[in-house]
Amino acid sequence: MEYREKMQAWLNDPCIDEASKAEIRAIDDEQELEDRFYKELEFGTAGLRGILGAGTNRMNRYVIARASQGLADTILAEGPAAAKKGIVIAHDVRHGSELFTKIAAEVFAANGIKTYVFKDICPTPMLSYGVRYLGTQSGIVITASHNPKNYNGYKVYWDKGSQILSDVADRIQEAIAALAFKDVKSLDFEKGLDAGIIEYCPEALDQAYYHATLIRALREDVDKSIKVVYTPLNGTGNKPVRHVLAERGFESIHVVAEQENPDPDFTTVGYPNPEDVKAFKYAEALGDELGAELLLATDPDCDRVSMEVRHDGKYVSFTGNQIGSLLAHYILSSLYEKKGLFEGGAIVKSIVTGDLPKRIAKSYGVATFETLTGFKNICALANRWDETKEYTFLYGFEESIGYVYGDHVRDKDGVIAAMLIVEMAAYYKKQGKTLVDVLNELFIQYGYHKEFLKSLVLEGMDGAERIARMMAHFRAADYQAFGELGVTECVDFNEENPVGRSNVLKYYLDDGSWFAVRPSGTEPKIKLYIYVVDRDEAVAAKKVKALEDAVVAELESVK
């Protein structure tokens, strides 16, 4: 069916309200109409994420309701016990988040599924914890993480507290595909509360999450006077991060006033992604005014965190790999000094994350495991080890500033990561070092690990098709070298392999360097990851630049 036919069917559907239909009729840009209707917003292993608006390829109340009915049908298929265990729903600060939460709750309640709802905005890691605390069958957080203001999303969790994997996602997608809007059940939210089928989450849940976070502090021999500027980027992190830092006794935490309170338009930052140093503009200004030693930023749903450190009079930014390496070193060295590492401890990273933490872990006798991208895969190992007792999950991380320490949360957790970053900076301050000093010490010990990460943003149907052509182009070519580095192996993760299937190509080079190309699963972009290591910093930097020039040129040659 062509997009025009899909659009007309949508406009003729009596379930769609007139305001939504009027929004479509007012659009005179044919390309915009095509993008809204050329497909249905895809439900993948991360759930849904898309631009807000009317249409089949947009985030709106109808897509949310239909997805919730599909998830409800999947829960009911698990049996009466699953419906009784129920589902817990959280939301962030974005446009539509509160409305979408109520719509979803109304669908689950109408299907006889016990539904718990966080009354206020909530960080994603607390939702993960909430699934485990309440013992629910499933969980949802309404969020688009760090995307721009015109996006929202719908992330689904299963009974272990981690995001669903493909086995559950495929069942939900099949259930959604079988539904028309008229098939969706709904019970008024207030009536659901009165009937007890909908219930607000107890305050004890929040307190239990804070306790589980605080007991994982690693050291007390730190300088708690360290001066920190924190920005939640107008998201959900403000209260949770400040609470745990206050409970830890840090005396000088200063919040960026313009970015303290919820703002779904992210007025002062636009793109609320702490990976982008531009997100630190206001924090740097306040940091300069106060003489702060550490700047900290969490993304809007507070599952990711980044930092800058004052060193030699100026603020130095860090990549996600560098923060992940510093945390790996701090966690493992602290555990080792406290009680020695217990046998069977393991850290987990994704296949496109750098290798420095792997070298650090090896020096402490700790195993490193790799998974496909996404914390649903990283925490799947924690779930498996619950049963097998084969390893103990210590720490999981990705290059995209996602970290979790411990196994009480089965997703990346910006709250505990923020607590550990401040504690780590305060520990080394007491030794007269900044985190720049510590990272340089790691480079001297393990080699200079240099990296280049690039995202090519290609939106709409044309962009998706070009990304597909890029991947096909690389798969068809038999590359022998990139720049001066020879290719020793190419792993196509679309083919059978021990880690699992995914649309990723990873090229290993003859000096131990590697790079990977991967279309994003949640955003309209293709990502390039380049990693090199060398004992000579200048040589490592030269290798990165040569690979960057060669691979980017190859990608951009595909039109």
Label residues 76-85 b or e (16+ Cβ within 10 Å = b): beeeeebbeb
Q: How far is CA 317 from CA 6, 116, 306, 454, 483, in A?
A: 47, 40, 9, 17, 28
Token couple for 425: 């900076």
Catalytic member of 97, 145, 306, 502: 145
Report the sign of the C-alpha dihedral through residues 513, 454, 517, 162, in that order.
Answer: positive
Categorise residue 550: left if φ over 0, alpha if ψ from -120 to 50, beta otherwise. alpha
CB 309 within 8 A of CB 315: yes
CB 208 within 8 A of CB 271: no
Active site residue 350: no
Number of residues that make up the chain: 559
Three-class secondary structure assignment of 490-510: EEECCCCCCCCCCCCEEEEEC
CB 51 within 8 A of CB 58: yes
Residue 498 sits at φ, ψ, to 5 deg, of -65, -25
Return d(Cα 138, Cα 132) in angstroms, integer: 10
Whose structure tokens read 């007890």? 196
Active site residues: 145
